[in-house]
Every structure is written in structure tokens, then in C-alpha cells.
Structure 1
């Protein structure tokens, strides 16, 4: 049994013992003292009045991830307004309480304390370092929270959820795809440039797993968040004789690395994490290299997808925010709010809109289709809600600056990894 499996067993045992001691049970998983009951017999909690349900969004609108944060937030607002136009949820309108932490941990902690008593759930917490700083509070407060960081290290938290595949799962799928389609063989040296921190480290875990399984050597280059010029790392990878490069960095760093490879004659395929791309990069001098050399592994389809839900999102967003750029953050915001609304509907049906009731409703979701990406299963907090990925590539003149290459798939080796995750 792995350390994580032992921890999982301990958590399950502790939860079962707590249930016995407190006589929990019934249809909702809530005790009789969880909160007031409305005229329709629905138990309520913080953030829930007779007319509104307030949801929290603690995000970055002015810091390094400001463009992404704005796209996600605007898609969330669009979805919430559409739900409200149809009558809301449980006879109540949705209200978003938004705070901009600017990617500052101290600011975010203070804002969370101010927001927490006012919200029923938080479908939008952006920033790995901020999420880590708030983990204990989220669990103590029983606040159903959606992480907009996708590290599998965050799994196992009942009140914290990750929508779509985690960074390591995406990298396992993407690296496997790259090896199969580019003729990579046992003994090959593969470059990997990654950003220090949860994002890069988690993608690195997936890359190392595939390299070990396929008998390849991973040549690693770690970079800090403030490093702008990656030409030295690219030069060193070229000297090491790598046959391909994996990259899990920020968008400007991705552009720097691919541009340096093109300029320096390192003509090998690049496979990046989707979070490391921004369509605005196609307005930079690195655009020709990105279009020629880069593919990305993503948890959701390109916005050029011909599915009805994607087409509707693009059309609705353009009407609501004319002139604003389209990027993958729109799909993230859509899916995040779709899951939150489904949680609230399920909690209402169980007559329990308390925080415990919302968490229980979320964990009852075993096959939820948000319309953009794979079907999601939230029943096991220790397992990613999705294990399929998409391959996309930069493209000029299309919504989101990405075109689809391969539809949702899962690498055969992934099940072995999930068994030891």
C-alpha cells in the first residue's frame, strides 16, 4: 500500500467513526442542527437567503494571470445570468461575490476571511500558492470550492474539487501521444522545461512516469516564474541531443523557448501544457515558430470544435463581450459554473442547501456532462474528475487561437499511473 493509499484509508476510517459518533446519515448527510429550514422544507446555510444564493469568486484580475482570470470570470457571469434568466436555482437567483487578489497571498487570505461568511460555495479560486494557503480554512469552513489550479497534489480534499484532468494526467496523455506520433523510441532523450511550483512539478511527475515506462531519458530544466529568456535552456537541450521537448511554463516562457529553438536550429516537436499558452502570443515575433513547432495537451476542446455547446458559448460570449478576446478560459468558466449549478440543483432536490448539503451533492455527481469536455465524475475526491485530454495547436484567425488535432482520448498507460497516484 502506498503512503497516499494509507492516508486515504485513514481518512475513510476517520469519517466513518465521526459518522457513528454524531449519528449522521439520512438522505442529505446533514445533521438536524446544520441551519434554518425555509418554507419549502429546504435547509439553508451561509450565503443562502429566500431570494438569492451567493457564490464566491476569488481570482486574479490585475496580476500575472489577469487575462485568464477575466476570461474565466466573464464566462462564469454569462452562465449565471443565463441560469437566472431561466428562473435561477431552487427559487433563488444566483449572485456572484468577486474579489481580485492580484496573485498576492496575504491579500487573498484577508479577502477570503471577508467573503467566507457571505457565500454558499466558491466556484472559482485561482492561484496554486493561494489555494495552498487557504486549504485548511476551506476544509474547516466546509466551503465547497473549485480549484483553478490543477495539481493532483490537491486531490483528497472533500470540500475542494478540480474540474477536468490534472496537470500530470494531461502530461501522461500528451507525452504518450507525442511518442506515438513522432516515432520516439526507447533510449531517446526528451527535453522538459518546467516552471517551479505546483503546476510544473505536477506536470513533471507525469512526464517522468511516461519516460520511465518507455525507457527514455528526461533532460530537465527548471525555471523560475520571473525568468523571461529561455534561450540558454533551449541551447543546453540541443547540445544534449533531445528528440522532442515537453514544456510546462507560463505563456511568455513558452513563446521564448519555442522561438529560441527555431532561431537556434533545434528543429524538434514541442508539446506544451495548455495553461502555458495564450492566443495573444500569435501577435508576437514568436508566432511563426509556435504555429510550426508547438502542440498542446488540453483538458477541454479547442474553441473551433464543431460541438453545439462550443458554438453556443462563442456566440453568446461575443454578444455579451464584443471585442474581448476568446481563449480557453471561457471553457473553464463555463464548466466551473455548470458544475456549481448542478451541485445546487442536486442539493435543492435533497432539501439541503447547507454547506454540508452542497458538498454531499457535489460528491454524488458521477456522470455530469458540462457540455465542454469529458464527462466528469466527482464521487471520489482522490481521483481526477476526468482522465481524458485533447491535443490542440496554435492557429491564426480562429476563436481562441487554437485548432483541434485529436479529440478526447486517454493513454493506455494512464490506468497504471492512477493506481499508484
Structure 2
């Protein structure tokens, strides 16, 4: 599969301030819906989540020496743990649990820095990483379908708006020329929003409860009780999101034709991600994680500039303080988001297939076919493995574990049973 060069390279700036601003806003729109959904579901403050997202992204860029165009947003993996910890012992215990997750990332990064990541590569060869990335994208697919109103629960308005948005992305990304071609999502959002206004599915009530400038409800470390009772609920989840972290960086590497696990190194990317989560929790925000939506934007636009990502982070921080802008983006109907994410999430899954193709994985070989098929069924079939009453392995994390163990088991069989 032939690699396409980036239009704007990782260490390059856009040619004009205007294009720089538009490209950065596109990343803001891509991450916004999911980033604010986490605090909405967990009771945390939306403004704090946006500020933490921006600070976390800048922290990550500094830790990776501005070599990786990654945007960090609110992690979905910890929603259940935050809800349960808050119900059991109050939100203070959730903050401490999330800070513990950040420290586990930092510890893991230190171990890799000392001993290297070669052992990790042996555990996670392409035959395991490829299906894992496919599962990341396909696991998100139901959310895109639900948002687009294609699950049979919506009237005709939502699917029509989603279709208009979807077709706008398709037409602009494949047929447009010049600057328009590399901003398909931001243009499609406005087209979709206009369609949503015509069909009457825009919720304007969000503008009634905001002011032009509003201070996020920060909960700084030291201002609340140190309740460590819920940490064991959060700690195992760190290993799940570390696997997701690796998968996302492999996907981005495939898109940009770079090996980020080598340069700047997995130790630095994990350090940036861990510090971002620790900082976020220390001011009252959710865990941060690499965002597939923004990786999808890079895949479509071929713009991988860390300067674009950095400006998007600054915009996110400012959005935490400007109520009406925050309300406008919040008012974007899920139909519009759904129309875009059908493509964005599909791109993630397609990059998993691309990894297998690039590795020349022979799927006529029963060994490879067994590993891929088993991982896909477990990852997408809703498999659950309870560890304790509050901890369980599900979806991608369980599929990853099974893939690693199955790959090593077959290797052992190959060694013990010679053909």
C-alpha cells in the first residue's frame, strides 16, 4: 500500500495564519463532542474538562519534543469507575483514582526508558496490533450509527441531517481543491448545522444558562479530602488504556509513515499521556487519552502539524472560559457528529487492516487466521471477564489479552511440535 506524503508535515506550520486557525478549529470540533460527553455523564465540569484537555495536549507535545501530532481528550474508559467511585465515596475519591492512573503511566514509561520497549514489540506484533486497532474503530461504530439516527429509534430528520453531513465530508474530501480540501470536517459541520436548523433539531436552550465569560468549577488538589478507598477500581484500567495508547500511536504512525514508538519513543508518549491525566485530575477533570477522532482528521486532511494541534489545545483552553462559544459547539446536534464519525471511526478500523497488509500477513495461514478471528469476535461480541466485583476485562482490553496469550501459545506449540 503506497504511503501518501503529508501536505503539512509534523514540524511544519501552515502557510498562513488563516489556514492555521481553520485547521486547528477543525480539530477542536472533532474532539469536542466526545470530550464534553464524559463530564456530562459523570457529573464533572465541562469547562474544566476542556481546559484540562488543552493543558494535557500541550503537556504531551512538550514531553514528546513536538514530534507527535496527538490530541488528548476525555477518556471513555473511566466513565463507569468515576460514576461508581463517586456513588461509593464521593467525587474526591475519583480524582485520586485518576491521579493514580497517571502515576501508573509514568511508572510504565520509566520502566520502558530503563529496559527498552523491545519486549513490548514481541508481545504486540502486527498480527495482534492490527485486529486490536480494527476493534478500536469498530467498537465505536455503534455510537456513530446511533448519533446518525440509523438505529431505527429516530424520525427522518436525524438521518437526513447525518446524510447531508456525511455527503459533505465525502464530496469535499475527495473532490474539493486547495484549502477547502483539507478542512472537510469544519465545513461539513456548518453545512450539517444549517440543515439541522432547517429540520428544527437544534437545541437553542443551551444558550439560556450561560454567560459570555464564565469560570470553570475547578477542584484543585489539596482542597478536597484524600480518600484512597477507590484506587484499586481505577488502577487495572490503566493497563487497558495503555494498550489503547499504543494502538493509537501505531495507527498515527501508519498515517504519517513514522514510527513513534521508536522516535520519540514509547516512554515519552506514555509520560506525556500520564502527566496529562494526572494534571487533569488534580484540577477536577477526567482522565485524558489520545483521540481517534483527531487521528481521523489527520488521515483525511493529510495535515499532521504539531503546531495545528498546539493551537487547537489553546482554543480548547479558551473554550472552557467562554460560555457562548461553548454553548454553540454544545448545540451542534448529534446527527451532525454522527455523519462525520461514520467516516472517522471507519478510518481507524481501516488502518488496522492496513497494518496487516503492510506486514504482508498471510490470512490463508490458519495460525494467523485463528488469532485475528478470535480477537475480533471477543472484542466485538461483548465478552466480559470479571476479575473482582468491581473490576472486569471487556472489549478491546480482553481481546488484546487473548491475542497476546494466543500468539505466544501458538509459538510454544510451534516449538514443541515440529512439523
Question: TM-score interval w.r.t. the shorter chain?
Answer: under 0.3
Structure-1-length-normalised TM-score? 0.24
Structure-2-length-normalised TM-score? 0.24
Higher relative contact order, structure no. (Cα contacts within 8 Å, ≥ 6 residues apart): 2
| Greater helix fraction, Structure 1 or Structure 2 | 2
